[in-house]
Structure 1
């Protein structure tokens, strides 16, 4: 095998609670995001964009998440609000991947959506290849319009998820993977 195949066959998500710093510096992050953007993109639409949430921005977005949760759950305990507030505080960097999929005369929305997923996975792989651990998550706040508005998403935009990037304190054991006999058909 080669280094790329080794990475792809051993890649494992690491929950944000198990991620620490240091995270990628600006140059490393720009390399990771450059790789993330090198995906199939029919029509050169770039149906995705990235929002980097690091440093104090993690706290600001966390306050928005907690306030939104409290608005819907006024009985929430201080402990639960702290959990919501700290959603983006575990890893040193979170990158929100924004889907800008929309109607196009030539490029079906389905193909644009696939490009968004490919950009997100390239981001994960580029970060892993750079020596970082990652976790791609959505959670409830990725679907809440109030949080999306606070992040600056247009009404037509959606969130593909947050990619948390840091250093693994520990790597969880691998999960069972599907057997090729269950998912592959040869014609």
Structure 2
């Protein structure tokens, strides 16, 4: 395996339910996030920002999300209510990656969202490189206006991902990956 590509060839998500303490310390987290924001950025708009959720604040956010999930669907089965109640109790750190869309910049919205998505992916790669586990989650909360209000998002902002970060508490097997030959074609005009 080419050492220069080994990180990409080995990276895999760690389910958030299998993440525990420790999270990156302040110095490692700062380095991780400084590296993560080095992304392609058409127009140099910096169309993203980050919100760290940890400690009691993270747990409070998780409680508010669970309450919102039940208000959204009063018939939510108890098993799903329980899942919502515990979603933010596992990983010690969650980074919300937020896209900030500048509608007047002349840069397509999709490019701005992809820029923010690259930040989220770089967080995953960086966490893995530092020996941590991470999982990119969205789900209903990323698209809910009330949750956006909880996070203090402006009208031109949206959640791209909630990246859960911590230390894997068990061995995480890799999943089957698609074969490149099934995905790659060559255009010949």
* Deviation of the 1:104 alpha carbon: 3.5
Q: Unaligned stretches of 5+ in structure 1? A: none
1:69 aligns with 2:69: yes
* Deviation of the 1:102 alpha carbon: 3.1
Match of 1:5 in 2: 5
The answer (yes or no) to whether the contact 1:59–1:85 under 8 Å persists in 2 is no
The answer (yes or no) to whether the contact 1:14–1:171 under 8 Å persists in 2 is no
Match of 1:173 in 2: 173
TM-score, length-scaled by structure 2:
0.90
> What are the residue-to-residue correspondences of 1:1-187 with 2, within 5 Å?
1=1, 3-76=3-76, 80-187=80-187
The answer (yes or no) to whether the contact 1:47–1:115 under 8 Å persists in 2 is yes
How many pairs are equivalent? Answer: 187
For the aligned residue pairs, the C-alpha RMSD in angstroms reads 1.8
In 2 relative to 1, CA 138–59 (structure 1 residues): closer, same or farther, beyond 3 Å? same
The answer (yes or no) to whether the contact 1:48–1:97 under 8 Å persists in 2 is yes
The answer (yes or no) to whether the contact 2:138–2:162 under 8 Å persists in 1 is yes
* Deviation of the 1:107 alpha carbon: 2.0
Structure-2 separation of matches of 1:163 and 1:18 = 14
What SS does structure 2 have at the residue aligned with 1:135?
strand
In 2 relative to 1, CA 141–110 (structure 1 residues): closer, same or farther, beyond 3 Å? closer
Q: Deviations over 1:136-163 (max 9, x none)?
A: 0111111111111101111221111111
